[in-house]
Amino acid sequence: MKQNGQAVDVVIMAAGKGTRMKSRLPKVLHRLAGRALLQHVVDTAVGLNARRVVVITGHGAAEVEAGVVHPGGGMLQFVRQEPQLGTGHAVQQAVPALPDDGVVVVLSGDVPLTQAETLGALIAACGGEKLALLTIEFADPTGYGRIVRDAAGAVQAIVEHKDASETQRQIREVYSGIMAVPARLLKPWLGRLDNKNAQGEYYLTDVVKFAVAQGVPVVGHKIVDALQVAGVNSPVQLAELERAYQQRAARSLMEQGVRLADPARFDVRGELLCGPDVEIDINCVFAGRVELGEGVRIGAHCSISNASIGPGAVIHPYTHIEGGVSARDRIEVGAGALIGPYARLRPGAKLGDEVHIGNFVEIKAATLAQGAKANHLAYIGDAQVGARVNYGAGSITANYDGANKHTTVIGEDVHIGSNCVLVAPVTIGAGGTVGGGSTITKDTAPGALTVARAKQVSLGNWQRPQKNKK
């Protein structure tokens, strides 16, 4: 529960409306890489081993509070800022939730990509005794609070852009909105804030002048990675940050040896783990936790979520693999399997080694053993399929009776002909054959040929109906 020997409590400001987003959805719930902006910040806070994480909500408070979770299953604390009277006023609302013995790290819910390592360095700079500010230099610092230093380089103040003089506006070093400060110092400073400024708001940055007046050292921890302090105020900024995030993810994977056909057409919306010699074609999307084994090839335009793909498997273009988070719903594809094109694997699909799933085949909550094949236009749901089964085109498991799901069991080496309906619950014995066009409602014996279809009848001299003339 400590970072650099300090007990850490994190406060996240997430009360703003985000007017420039032009959206009914609160700004902090807009998604970056598949997660809410605020969720990124919460995840980072938890990564600091924070003793508590306090989220300040306001606009759309109930929606925001329901829209984020503690990634470790713990509890988040929420406090509300109503009305919203500035950053200082926001942090004032968190004071009752903060013990006096910790270091408070203040974060913004719309700045999603700050790294835990950076915050750890900031906490170390604080050392339980100083006010530490995360700063960065911008070529164009318009809109940001300027870091004002004395001749010796010590931080003297943060001046908001609207309140800055022309000389101060030439300063390129700016405050990121992130600070670390001992709670025992922060609390009385917050009580002294006023709103005598151009915006009529209570600025959190005014605590700097209180620290200077009190003789508390103020240090600036300067970084150069602008992505870590980039905020989101508009759809344009969100899109720019999304692309920057994806480019960074792509570069990291390529440095590990992954071959991306085009890094600019690639999206990770979760965690992607790749073995050696993985190849990924254009316009693929990975969500949740996806693991790709050695030599896996992913064709163009695939969407894959919460899945493990075994070594040497090939996922042909336009395949959708839609696993769930739980172990039961997560999708598994065995080594050397061939999936697609235009295949769909739904939650609970477990495919063994060298399984073949072809075009327009859907698998849901089913296990297919080694070497099973369903190559065309088929549905297999709530089923256990044995090794080396050949499942014909147009065949389905009728697993739903209108109220409950039932299981189909297909033994090893079974051949299911085209356009068959297997009405569950039903078991097809090992080595058996089901003739094309059959509707099977009863268990079949091992090795048997089973045919269940109406006798063919042809009627001579039959006249096709004619369209009535108007």
Residues with a known catalytic role = 376
For 418, counting Cβ atoms within 10 Å of its Cβ (0-12 exposed, 13-18 middle, 19+ buried), the class is: middle
Contact predicate 189/95, CB 8 Å: no
Q: Residue 319 has which token pair?
A: 């395949």
- How many other C-beta atoms can be found within 10 angstroms of the C-beta atom of residue 115? 14
Largest CA-CA distance found in the chain, in angstroms, rounded: 108
Q: Residue 114 has which token pair?
A: 């700050």
Q: Residue 129 has which token pair?
A: 């005794």
Contact predicate 155/208, CB 8 Å: yes
Q: What is the separation, in whole angstroms, between the first and last Cα of the chain?
A: 84
Three-class SS state of 266: strand
- How many other C-beta atoms can be found within 10 angstroms of the C-beta atom of residue 97? 15
- How many other C-beta atoms can be found within 10 angstroms of the C-beta atom of residue 468? 5
63's enclosing H/E stretch is helix 61-66
Contacting residues for 374 by C-beta, under 8 A, at least 6 apart = 356, 357, 358, 361, 363, 368, 380, 391
Contact predicate 38/55, CB 8 Å: yes
Which amino acid belongs to residue 28? V
Spatial separation of the C-alpha atoms in residues 126 and 132, rounded to whole Å: 5
Q: Residue 260 has which token pair?
A: 């991306």
Spatial separation of the C-alpha atoms in residues 102 and 11, rounded to whole Å: 12
Spatial separation of the C-alpha atoms in residues 314 and 461, rounded to whole Å: 53
CB < 8 Å & 24+ apart, contacts of 293-300? 293/335, 299/340, 299/341, 300/261
Of 183, 222, 187, 11, give the one whose Cα is nearest residue 105: 11
